[in-house]
Structure formats: structure tokens, C-alpha cells
Homo-oligomer: A and B are copies of this chain.
Amino acid sequence: MVNFTNEAGPDKTDRKIMQLLARDGRMAWSELAEKIGLSLTPTLRRVRQLEEGGYIKGYVAQLDEGRLAGKVSVFVAVTLVNQSEEVIQRFEEQIALSPEVMSCFLMTGDADYTLRVVVPDLDGYQHFLTRTLTRIPGVAHIKSSIALKQVLMRPSPLL
């Protein structure tokens, strides 16, 4: 018997660490240590704790979505014919395989989905609709809302 898995949760210093790494995920640990006013060892230990505790899920390069995928975002409200396990599972699976789909949320109430789909232009969206979305079994109805400008996009919540 050893350790009552010290579930303390992030303190103020941990939050500062997360904040800094959310802005620059490749910052040198030595630089991070300096900025939070601790030496290397405890800094790195805190980072590892945050990673293991799942507060930091990973580190990613942010790619230019507009340049690599397209400048047009379409919010798509999808209604399924029913909410059977099979229909839902197949839908979510196919969606995850479509590179145009950047995010997908299951909505309350009507139990349908809202997707954000990124395409180069409206032609590209039409292709996505006809070649991908309408071909997924169980899709009953689709309503599209087109965005032309991304005003704000936070990769991580503000602390």
C-alpha cells in the first residue's frame, strides 16, 4: 500500500503552464521553467502530470486550414431517419473518414448532428454533398449554412 492517488487537480502554476503551452506547444522546457519561475525539474514533473492526468491531451502543429483544405466552411444540420445504434454508428464512422468534415456534434432534442465541413468553394461542397453525405445510409435531411469568414477560432479554451 502506498499512495492514495493524489488527485489534487491543477493549481495556479499548472494553469500557467497550460496557458503557455497552449500558445507555444514547442517551447523549450527551460524557457517554460523561466516563465513560471521554477527550475527545470519541478516544471517538467508538472508537465508530465498534466499530460498523464489528461489535461494536456497532446501537442499538434496547427496547419493552415484555409490554404490546405479550403476557405469555405459550411455548417450542416443533418437529420437521420432514426436513432438506431446501427444508423448512428455507421453515420459517425463515415463522417470520421471524410476529410472535409472538421467537426461533428450530436445535438440535443431532435437528436441530429451539426457538422462543420471545409471545402475550397461551393462546387466542392456540392461534391461533398452528392458523393459523401447523401450516400451515407440513414441520412434523411440536410440543411446547409454557409460561412465565408472565420472571425475567431481557439484551439484550446482560455484559462
Contacts and interface: CB of A to CB of B under 8 A. Distances in A.
Interface of A: 18, 21-26, 54-65, 67-69, 73, 75, 92, 95-96, 99, 101-109, 113-114, 118, 145-159
A151 B22 CA distance: 22
Contacts of A60: 21-25, 59-60, 62, 155-156
B152 A104 contact: yes
A101 B75 CA distance: 17
Given A92-B152, A149-B105, A61 B157 contact: no
Contacts of A149: 105-106
A18 B23 CA distance: 19
B58 A151 contact: no
The winner among A54, A64, A69, A96 for most chain B CB atoms within 10 A is A64
A40 to B, nearest CB: 16
Contacts of A73: 105
A58 B68 contact: no
Nearest to A156: B63
